[in-house]
C-alpha cells in the first residue's frame, strides 16, 4: 500500500522501446514528501530516465518495457498521471524544448499554461510578477524569449514550471547554462521553497550538499547509494566517478572529523565540527 507521505519506488526497471539495453535496474528507494532529493551519477547513469518516470512522461508519452512501481504520495505516475500531472512541474535539460514557441514576450511565455487553464487575468498577472521576481526575470518580462541568454532561458523554463504552483518539482540539470552567480542564486532560491517535493538532477555537488535532504546515487542504471549527503559522500567508491564537495576535501585533508570517520560535507557541518574542536 502506498504511503501518502512519501515517494516510494519499488523494484523499478525500464528499457526503452527498440533498445536492448536496460536503462534502470531494480531500483527501490523512498523519501519523505516536501523534501529536496538530489539525484547524482555519471554519464548514462539513468538520471534523466528516472526523472521521466517520476513525472509520468514514461510510460504515458514514451514507451518501453517497464516493471515495478512508483508512488508519489498516494498517486502513481503510471495509473494516476492526469491527477499527478496537474501537481507537477518538470524542467528538462534543454530549456528551449519546453517553451511553447508561441509567446512574443517572456511574460506571455510564463503565463501560457495559466491561460490554457482559464486562470483569471488578475491572478495571472500576480503569479507572473511573483515568479519573475523569484527568478530574477523582472527586467526581461517584455523581451522576446529568443533574446535571452542560456542561463536566462533556464530560469524562464523554471518559471513556466512553477507558475502553476506545483507540489512536485522535477528539475533535470537546470543550471548547466547559468553563470556562477546565477547558480548560487538558484540554489538559495530552492532552499526557500516550502511545501514542495523537489527532485533535482545536478552535477553541482557542493551546492547539492548545502540544500539536499537526501541524495540518490545512480551508476549504470542501478541505485548504488542513498541517504543524507553526509552519509552518501562519506561512502563514495572511486568506480562511481563522483566528485566530492570542497568542504569535504578540506576537512579530510585537515582531519576535521565529525566522529565515526565522517567528514563534513556542508558549511554548517564544518562550523559544528570546528566549534566542537575548539570546545575540547
Instruction: Share the mean pLDDT of the chain.
Output: 94
- 50-96: per-residue pLDDT in tens? 999 999 999 999 999 999 999 999 999 999 999 999 999 999 888 88
Q: Please report, for residues 32, 162, 193, 210, 235, the alpha-carbon distance to residue 168 in angstroms, rounded to integers and kept in the order given.
A: 12, 9, 11, 20, 29
- Residue 114: domain span: 100-164
The answer to whether residues 139 and 194 belong to one domain is no
- 27-45: per-residue pLDDT in tens? 999 999 999 999 999 989 9
Domain of residue 195, CATH code: 3.40.50.300
pLDDT at 136 over 90: yes
| DSSP class of 70 | E
Query: Rounded CA gap, 203 and 40, in Å?
Result: 7
pLDDT at 4 over 90: no
What pLDDT band is residue 280 in, cutting at 50, 70 and 90?
Answer: low
pLDDT at 102 over 70: yes
Cell matching residue 234: 562519506
pLDDT at 153 over 50: yes
- Structural domains of the chain, count: 2
Dihedral of CA atoms 265, 219, 158, 105 in degrees, nearest 10, equals 130
Listed residues 112, 145, 164: the one ending a domain: 164
Query: Rounded CA gap, 265 and 210, in Å?
Result: 8
The answer to whether residues 171 and 83 belong to one domain is yes
Classify residue 25: in a domain, yes or no: yes
The answer to whether residues 30 and 155 belong to one domain is no
The answer to whether residues 116 and 140 belong to one domain is yes
Q: What is the predicted pLDDT for the residue at 277?
A: 72
List, in order, residues 6 or more apart from 93 with CB less than 8 Å away: 48, 172, 173, 176
Classify residue 93: in a domain, yes or no: no
What pLDDT band is residue 3 in, cutting at 50, 70 and 90?
Answer: low
Listed residues 164, 199, 220: the one ending a domain: 164
Q: What is the predicted pLDDT for the residue at 14?
A: 98
Mean of the pLDDT values across residues 107-122? 95
Listed residues 164, 183, 199: the one ending a domain: 164
Give me the phi and psi of 216, to 5 degrees please.
-115, 120
Q: What is the predicted pLDDT for the residue at 179?
A: 92
The answer to whether residues 6 and 83 belong to one domain is yes
Share of the chain above pLDDT 70, in %: 98
Q: What is the predicted pLDDT for the residue at 1?
A: 41
- 215-224: per-residue pLDDT in tens? 999 999 999 9
| DSSP class of 140 | G
List, in order, residues 6 or more apart from 124 with CB less than 8 Å away: 111, 114, 115
The answer to whether residues 60 and 20 belong to one domain is yes
Classify residue 156: in a domain, yes or no: yes
Q: What is the predicted pLDDT for the residue at 218?
A: 98
Contact 266, 231 (CB under 8 A): no
Classify residue 158: in a domain, yes or no: yes
Give kind and range of the element (H or E) at residue 89: strand 88-91
The answer to whether residues 61 and 181 belong to one domain is yes
Query: Cell numbers 508519489 label which residue?
Result: 72
Classify residue 238: in a domain, yes or no: no
Classify residue 3: in a domain, yes or no: yes
The answer to whether residues 6 and 77 belong to one domain is yes
The answer to whether residues 2 and 64 belong to one domain is yes
- 162-210: per-residue pLDDT in tens? 999 999 999 999 999 999 999 999 999 999 998 999 999 999 999 999 9
Classify residue 63: in a domain, yes or no: yes
Classify residue 216: in a domain, yes or no: yes
Residue 147: how many CB atoms within 10 A of its CB?
Answer: 11
Mean of the pLDDT values across residues 116-126? 95
The answer to whether residues 22 and 154 belong to one domain is no
The answer to whether residues 72 and 177 belong to one domain is yes
The answer to whether residues 149 and 204 belong to one domain is no
Amino acid at each position: 500500500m502506498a504511503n501518502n507521505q512519501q515517494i516510494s519506488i519499488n523494484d523499478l526497471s525500464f528499457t526503452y522501446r527498440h533498445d536492448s539495453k536496460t536503462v534502470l535496474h531494480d531500483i527501490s528507494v523512498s523519501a519523505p514528501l516536501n523534501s529536496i532529493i538530489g539525484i547524482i551519477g555519471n554519464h548514462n547513469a539513468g538520471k534523466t530516465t528516472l526523472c521521466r518516470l517520476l513525472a509520468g512522461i514514461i510510460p504515458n508519452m514514451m514507451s518501453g518495457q517497464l516493471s515495478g512501481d512508483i508512488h508519489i504520495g498516494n498517486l502513481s505516475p503510471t495509473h494516476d498521471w492526469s491527477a499527478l500531472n496537474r501537481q507537477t512541474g518538470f524542467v528538462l535539460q534543454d530549456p528551449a524544448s519546453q517553451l511553447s514557441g508561441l509567446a512574443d514576450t517572456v511574460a506571455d511565455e510564463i503565463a501560457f499554461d495559466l491561460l490554457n487553464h482559464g486562470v483569471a487575468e488578475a491572478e495571472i498577472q500576480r503569479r507572473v510578477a511573483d515568479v519573475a521576481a523569484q527568478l530574477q526575470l523582472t527586467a526581461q518580462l517584455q523581451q522576446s524569449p529568443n533574446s535571452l541568454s542560456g542561463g536566462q532561458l533556464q530560469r524562464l523554463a523554471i518559471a513556466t514550471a512553477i507558475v502553476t504552483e506545483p507540489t512536485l518539482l522535477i528539475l533535470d540539470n537546470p543550471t548547466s547554462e547559468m553563470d556562477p552567480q546565477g547558480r548560487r542564486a538558484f540554489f538559495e532560491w530552492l532552499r526557500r521553497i516550502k511545501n514542495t517535493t523537489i527532485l533535482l538532477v545536478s552535477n553541482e555537488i557542493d551546492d547539492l550538499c548545502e540544500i539536499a535532504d537526501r541524495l540518490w546515487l545512480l551508476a549504470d542504471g542501478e541505485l548504488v547509494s542513498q541517504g543524507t549527503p553526509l552519509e552518501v559522500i562519506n561512502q563514495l567508491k572511486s568506480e562511481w566517478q563522483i566528485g566530492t564537495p570542497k568542504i569535504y576535501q578540506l576537512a579530510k585533508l585537515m582531519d576535521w572529523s565529525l566522529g565515526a570517520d565522517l567528514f563534513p560535507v556542508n558549511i554548517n557541518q564544518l562550523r559544528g565540527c570546528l566549534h566542537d574542536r575548539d570546545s575540547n
